[in-house]
Structure 1
């Protein structure tokens, strides 16, 4: 039924092997996608990490920088762009699209390789000008930060030392 009986091997075994490889591939893809389950039942697992999980992950990174941007102005700030020169964004942590008047936002980047650091920058705009923040937490050397504001705003920095740094920029 499955073979021609002429020494070509068992076609049923070959078909079963192909099926097993397909099931393994689908299973691996489901695992990577965060889907688990048994007996034919799959359930999506939440992609959001708790604060404790995020902190644990950052603590495992060789370098990380937690950035807080305080908007102490009467106008909203809208993100124009943000990027990392080195490292990766901490899970579920990217500069906010909008930071309302008299509020703040926080994000985090971390190193992503052996003996590496993290470096990034973000630009926000208001009706009055741009706010530019930059952080650099290298594997070797001192941390450095830049914060500039135009349109009559000022920018101050506090904190930011250590391998797993926490820096706060305040725009007034």
Structure 2
């Protein structure tokens, strides 16, 4: 997992980085987010949905939309045990949240996919102007069967952000 950076509609930089839940790396980690303040320092860090549990959450990607800055991440709060063996219990979910111009979470997160790969980075991008922006998300998807640990090929989906949360199908 690596840091990510985005910019709000108001020009404020927002950074995200992985941070362990405590001194024990086995306790898992989650993205921490902070916004650059006018004096160049950063706001206190926060986590999406204020959730600081689960084995692994991260791989953040930012996209500027007409609504504001949207942050996507892989959310592991439902995972069972740590590891990168594609055989974990529970599921990694693709989520997003809207970030306001001040760099704070604006409302609850949305789940876009119930079974993404636990260890593969997201790809996020967009096309079109700021008002008619189309968002594309690429994520490896886990097969839904318990008999096959295989992964599907990368998948891409997009929707116009006309005042609603994007839905990935």
Normalization by structure 1: what TM-score? 0.29
Structure with higher helix content: 1
Normalization by structure 2: what TM-score? 0.29
Structure whose CA Rg is larger: 1
Q: Which has the higher contact order (CA 8 A, sep 6+)?
A: 1
